[in-house]
Amino acid sequence: NAGVTQTPKFQVLKTGQSMTLQCAQDMNHEYMSWYRQDPGMGLRLIHYSVGAGITDQGEVPNGYNVSRSTTEDFPLRLLSAAPSQTSVYFCASSWEGDYGYTFGSGTRLTVV
Amino acid sequence: GENVEQHPSTLSVQEGDSAVIKCTYSDSASNYFPWYKQELGKGPQLIIDIRSNVGEKKDQRIAVTLNKTAKHFSLHITETQPEDSAVYFCAASRPGTASKLTFGTGTRLQVTL
């Protein structure tokens, strides 16, 4: 099935733990992004990539790290989880920049 | 940076009525305005988009209008159906910003029977 696949779907972390949210797409899209969704705040851009080996910061990058070694994968790393990072995380990909983004189904993360 | 405001935050309409959701943006250089629908437990799905060289775009029961002078754009859903119930997000981006979509805060649409 073509699309954006995110794993895991749910995760509970303790404060200070680290983890990686996985994102993979099989549409050969160059552009990939990570967003977080919080109640009443819409979706906010964390990091994005315009191709393998190229990443940049979005609106809320602090506490997160990304890398893009292949076109297909764009993992998001939480370095030291904090309760403020409790959120729903979405990965998205697009053939060309800001055209028609396809979103994954999300990862619901709770930091206790 | 860009700021997108979206209204209303909640909207309840009866089946068959029309629904209108409005967004305003701050960056006059923005030229791409997509609308996403998010159903419970799912990721946002692109339903329609418009570029600044077009004033209106339609796709069956859905239409988007853009007023560049006033810096606002709207989503119109006609003949609403229960399956239209969802959260709708508007977004905006400017040329040359790659993946930097700025989203509104969302509108929860409830279509009642």
Question: Is residue A98 pLDDT above 90, yes or no?
Answer: no
Q: How many CB pairs under 8 A join A and B?
A: 74
Q: Which residue has the higher pLDDT, B97 or A35?
A: A35
Question: Is residue B99 pLDDT above 80, yes or no?
Answer: no
What mean pLDDT is predicted for residues B47-75? 94
d(CA B49, CA B64): 7
What mean pLDDT is predicted for residues A86-112? 91
B72 min Cα distance to partner chain A (Å): 18
Task: Provide the pLDDT for residue B58.
Answer: 96
Cβ distance of B100 and A106 shorter than 8 Å: no
Q: Does residue B64 contact residue B73 with C-beta atoms inside 8 Å? A: yes
d(CA A75, CA B78): 40
Q: Is A8 helix (H, G, I), strand (E, B) or coil?
A: coil
Cβ distance of A42 and B104 shorter than 8 Å: yes
Task: Provide the pLDDT for residue A97.
Answer: 64
Cβ distance of B93 and A59 shorter than 8 Å: no
Q: Does residue B48 contact residue B112 with C-beta atoms inside 8 Å? A: no
d(CA A15, CA B62): 44
Phi-psi bin for A30: left (phi > 0), alpha (psi -120 to 50), beta? alpha
A58 min Cα distance to partner chain B (Å): 7
Encode pLDDT of A18-32 as tens digits: 999 999 999 999 999
Task: Tell me which residues of chain B have a C-beta less than 8 Å from any C-beta of chain A.
Answer: 1, 4, 6, 9, 32, 34, 36, 41-46, 49, 89, 93, 97-106
Q: What percent of chain B has pLDDT over 90?
A: 81
Cβ distance of B44 and A40 shorter than 8 Å: no
Structure-block tokens of residue A83: 């309760």
Measured between beta carbons, the chain A residues lying within 8 angstroms of B49 are: 99-100
Q: Does residue B79 contact residue B61 with C-beta atoms inside 8 Å? A: yes
Cβ distance of A106 and B103 shorter than 8 Å: no
Task: Give the highest mean pLDDT range of A36-40, A82-86, A99-103, B1-5.
Answer: A82-86
Q: What percent of chain B has pLDDT over 70?
A: 96
Task: Provide the pLDDT for residue A14.
Answer: 98
Question: Is residue A100 pLDDT above 90, yes or no?
Answer: no
Encode pLDDT of A65-96 as tens digits: 999 999 999 999 999 999 999 999 999 999 87
Measured between beta carbons, the chain B residues lying within 8 angstroms of A49 are: 99
Choosing among A98, A99, A103, which should be mutated to test the B contact, i.e. which has the most B CBs within 10 A? A98
